[in-house]
Amino acid sequence: VEFRELFNKKLACQLGMNYTAYFPDFTSMSETEIFISTKGGYTDYHIDFQENFSIQLRGSKKWKLCKSGVTSPIAGFTPHYAKSGNLEQQLKLLSMEFPFKYDKDEIESLATEIELNAGDVLYHPAGIWHAVECTEDSITINLSLKNLNKADIIAQSLKHLMNQDPELRENMTFSSRED
């Protein structure tokens, strides 16, 4: 947590995310992940809702990247986790923006392939399809940064204003189906 709060906050500020890169309690809306992977490890195509920087510390990985058409995603889309129960919610959120389809063959045919080696850094923006294969044992640090969107800021502001009204702070009760 300390690394995330210090390093990711500074990175977010340098990228112009200094106002909206925090939760209301001023903790950073970022993640730092360390991936320790063995040769042959594979993560299938998915999109993230954060801005990502992957720093390859050791070994190498083959990345396949393709534009998705999703702009400012409010959720990731991880079809390889289809059994986790989150896939339906992800599709609902993405379909709010446009009719969303996942066609792995089409993505594969349009993807650009790059190899990340020790010392390389890759920026992959929110909403881009990507799949990753370990071509040798590797260690990667991933820094993920998330901005609040305008809807988040407006909703939080409205909640703050509404909570000033004692009637709106009252608990809701239902005594019958007609209520």
pTM equals 0.74
Percent pLDDT > 90 in the chain is 37
Does the pLDDT of residue 103 top 60, yes or no? Answer: yes
Question: Is-contact 104 45, C-beta < 8 A?
Answer: yes
- Residue 82 falls in which region: left (phi positive, over 0), alpha (psi -120 to 50) or beta: alpha
What does the alpha-carbon distance between residue 103 and residue 100 come to, in Å, rounded to a whole number?
A: 10
Percent pLDDT > 70 in the chain is 73
Give first-to-last CA distance, the chain, whole Å.
Answer: 45
Beta-carbon contacts of 10 under 8 Å, excluding residues fewer than 6 positions away, are none
Only one residue has tokens 């999703």, namely 70
Only one residue has tokens 């990228």, namely 15
